[in-house]
A and B are shown apart, each in its own frame.
Chain A
Amino acid sequence: MGTQGKLNDGSTSIWQKFGPLFALLLLFIVIAALNPSFLEPLNIMNLLRQTSINALIAFGMTFIILTGGIDLSVGSILALSSALMAGMMVSGMDPILAILVGVLLGTLMGVLNGLLITKGKMAPFIATLATMTIYRGLTLVYTEGKPVTGLGDSELFQMLGRGYFFGIPVPVVIMIIAFFVLWFLLHKMSFGRKTYAIGGNEKSSRISGIKVDRVKIMIYGIAGTMAALAGAILTSRLNSAQPTAGQAYEMDAIAAVVLGGTSLSGGKGRLFGTLIGVLIIGTLNNGLNLLGVSSFYQQVVKGVVIIVAVLLDRKKS
């Protein structure tokens, strides 16, 4: 009844809105105090570039988690589309065209996930667990387990991962553009409203005339696209496609989304939160490296940060 309902008023609490941002600032201050070189522009640019790949994947993941789903296959999609792009380039295709085709193939891989989940009525976890190994397996088959190299020297392709745009690394520019495009899609367009609605209550959404299946398929398609785009950047950075690329990237993406305050049960969260979550993870990686913390300990710290963030998030309610 009304009385109990009033207890949980203010469902977007201060923590939910700004908590991750405070955490990021705190992290910045602590690391900068311990090692002032952290704040040098070169390092910050480096940090952002390191972050951009996880950011792109996590943006797509945010949509999926908002509907109450999950996608474990994004790392494999990254690898497979990267291998296919590289393969097309090696066989002489125009690099830009190869990238476009490769990204489109990533979209299709995501759409296939969506079809399994909606039309095949499979749980997202199971469906994408299966496609995770399928896409990874196909990558290994296609590359015969070896890196694909000899991608030519197209300047535009080199730019993608290594270039600068007015002093800002191109991957960072792509991350920023992707953020604004997806932010608009999620918060200003009916597509975004439908995404939240499905996560909030799928039955009500369907009865309200939302084509739930179609929206979900599109969302998994977006996640696939973003993973493949990240794959393109990685391919350019490494000037090769690695068969083991992107392994466990889905975990970093999920961690970023959760750190950003999005609920794994769907319906609640914001894309801005994910951006902050990505930056927290990036800052931790970069900062701990700078402070000389062993990469073994870094993993422990990352896990602890996730637990603390979720506990704080829980406390609000």
Chain B
Amino acid sequence: MTDYSMQPDADGLFGRFGGRFVPETLMPLITDLQAEYDAARKDTEFQRQLAYFQRDYVGRPSPLYYAERLTEHFGGAKIYLKREELNHTGAHKINNCIGQILLAKRMGKTRIIAETGAGMHGVATATVAARFGMPCVVYMGSADIERQQPNVFRMKLLGAEVIPVTTGTGTLKDAMNEALRDWVTHIDETFYIIGTVAGPHPYPAMVRDFQAVIGRETRAQILEKEGRLPDSLVACIGGGSNAMGLFHPFLADEAVRMVGVEAGGKGLETGLHAASLSGGVPGVLHGNRTYLLQDEDGQITDAHSISAGLDYPGIGPEHAWLHERGRVEYVSITDDEALEAFQCCCLQEGIIPALESAHALAEVAKRAPTLPSDHLMVVNLSGRGDKDMMSVAQHLGENFQ
């Protein structure tokens, strides 16, 4: 039996996925980071600090909420929402940012950089940078800046410099390229807070570990409420950090089914989507081997999703591995299905979900009605939807004055 807790191996490989595909300039930093992270994991003082900030600053634990009305509405599985949207800054992203900035401080770094898509990771990074008094530069695609204005302003209020990235398609992958270029140029003082379970080793494992607080809490909470483990877990996937955080503490529990929901955009058949596992093939980008959207020449192609946070042509390498092992089932949800689930959640539960999380809810809408009422389903409500007001209004034909 696979020991899921022992992944990745010493070279950062999950089977054939992951690795350290970076320029030589970055290699010494990455090995330093690995050593520092290994030491921090075993350091009780580091763990104590992390727990302190998670509790008093982020507001953890986040509730596991029985979504009674959604359960009735779908008429099947008993649905629980893991309320990550109640965290400080409104998404799961800060779980990881707190961990990484404590590591940055421990390593004596004085400058923080990050990439962001929807802006939630940018906001969370700007937030912790402000809290720890470090200058912060956030790279954001120009197309994303356009559709996520409120988050751009939030980052500025928090003292971060937001640099628009116009290369490529001006989305998350281009922002990540630009952040890597910054890092290579400002090696000595800079810590790169990657926002998802991707990038060169140790990032996929490190970000997963910081996000695994979601799954650990869920496990304790469901045991307390129901006296048993859930039957299934559902989470949306761009790079895959909220899903990995929820799934990881349950991987060894074979009876727990897991479903990762990629962004199907306008439909897989149109080619306009962000579903790397369903529509991509393995390749190497941003430091790791994983499934990537690419053309017949190995050029990375544009992802498309209504949700800026899922608009990435790759996926974390551990997901690629879990996909090939068949441990997690990966599906996709279209823009339209996500919008419908978004509205449903607003009306049924009085919770405005992020468009990203609405993809997970849309999968719930498909599955829950077919399942018995004693089926316990946990959905990661990874973020709140305030940032998406303009995009949703536009799609629903609403005009703001």
A and B are interacting partners: no
Using CB atoms and an 8 Å cutoff, list the residues of chain A in contact with chain B.
none
